[in-house]
Structure 1
């Protein structure tokens, strides 16, 4: 399963744009000011992540969602079912290139012509720039996941550390999956979490690895560097303990990995 890193963007416009996003997405959209972005997600009724997004506020009545994996046209079609009488227009924009721009304060957002700039601290993520993937490694090392095509609807928010990314709010009222997300937050008990790992060989995002004959490791994004192969991986907690007991521990056939960082829910 390959990962598509093209810029899939969805415009949400109209007098009810913010109220609509507030009722559908997991973050507190009301806190978002013009010229800022935040992590957010769209969950299903069982609390699983259907879409992971960087949500920016273009104007008082306009938002832009940059999907971190997935297809904007499909998301627009799915969200359209919940518009009802709301004054909202959903527009899936033509996919464009993603490029790396100069350092810009994290969560700052700007428009440049028909392009968009998302500030990420040490760099910026630019929609509509010449394509390059220099942004991928620093975002991977920061624990900013990108969902491959086989994982939407498979992972709960704690598995990809959405609470740490402030992509899930627990005090803003109802949204799809809110009850499950809140239960996991207040009661805990989720047994899968995200880690940064070094792989012994190149693999693709979306690869499912086994340990001890059991499906236990989902690779998210993978970056092949000059000296190593780094990835974000969702790993069962009991398997993490086994992997950490050995500097390099085998999974599947001839593949090994080493955990270098981990994140809470």
Structure 2
């Protein structure tokens, strides 16, 4: 199924909003200044990414999450179990149109009338625009900013998505779900899957799993482009990359070829 790029958001409000987010999410939320955003993730106990998001601090006690895949209502319901006596309110606004805005400094966040604008350098993302568009997708694939199809939620470790590079994972803060496993991979290594930017020989749905010699070594994330040039972010097994590192393209069992143009470590 094609990926849904509607803006699905979650608001955390209250005196303990930042402390709650700091304890639950993998990024260093306490370092986030008002009027800025950072990448963040919510992990399960095994360190796998349940949600990836832009986390914006709109006020001292207000945080806004823009999910890069997944369902905000389900995430809020799961998070609610950890609120206990914390002074934090979780609100799930209705899904809104997501569109491309003018250039704005990366990590800037601001409100414009009823919309929220997140700066991404040579463009911005507008939550609540009058009309949706997806022109932001191609430059973000070039940047290595993944959008997670439903079949990848709870299946991938942060390092496989290059989240350390995006500063979505902090190692100098207190504990959070999955922190021990993620830190062990960071300091000791051992991960055998990494993210790459690839050019595809033909269109295919985001989230597709591709096989080579019967093994499912290629997980496509988001796919963008037209018939002339189709690019995607893909998590590929290191063994497969090493086996074909001198080959111009990877031919899959599905009759699709892909060419690696850029690779990212953790």
Which TM-score band applies after superposition, normalised by the shorter structure?
A: over 0.9
Partner of 1:141: 142
For the residue of structure 2 that corresponds to 1:233, the secondary structure is strand
Please give the residue correspondences for 1:162-241 in structure 2 after superposition, counting only pairs within 5 Å.
162-225=163-226, 227-241=228-242
For the residue of structure 2 that corresponds to 1:41, the secondary structure is strand
Verify the 8 A CA contact 1:35 1:110 in the aligned structure 2: yes
Partner of 2:127: 127
Partner of 1:108: 108
Verify the 8 A CA contact 1:243 1:258 in the aligned structure 2: no
Map Cα deviations across residues 63-115 of structure 1 (whole Å, 9 max, x no partner): 00000000111110010000000000000110011100000000000101121
Aligned length: 265
Partner of 2:36: 36
Partner of 1:251: 252
Provide the rounded CA distance (Å) in 2 between the counterparts of 1:225 and 1:234.
21
Shift of 1:244: 2.6
For the residue of structure 1 that corresponds to 2:160, the secondary structure is helix
Verify the 8 A CA contact 2:210 2:254 in the aligned structure 1: no
Provide the rounded CA distance (Å) in 2 between the counterparts of 1:79 and 1:147.
19
Provide the rounded CA distance (Å) in 2 between the counterparts of 1:45 and 1:10.
22
Shift of 1:226: 5.1
Provide the rounded CA distance (Å) in 1 between the counterparts of 2:179 and 2:69.
22
Provide the rounded CA distance (Å) in 2 between the counterparts of 1:247 and 1:126.
38
RMSD: 0.8
Partner of 1:49: 49
Provide the rounded CA distance (Å) in 2 between the counterparts of 1:222 and 1:133.
12
Verify the 8 A CA contact 1:2 1:149 in the aligned structure 2: no
Provide the rounded CA distance (Å) in 1 between the counterparts of 2:176 and 2:142.
30
Mapped pair 1:70 → 2:70: yes
Shift of 1:224: 2.3
Verify the 8 A CA contact 1:244 1:259 in the aligned structure 2: no
Provide the rounded CA distance (Å) in 2 between the counterparts of 1:188 and 1:113.
46
Verify the 8 A CA contact 2:202 2:227 in the aligned structure 1: no
Task: Give ranges in structure 1 of 5+ residues lacking alignment.
Answer: none
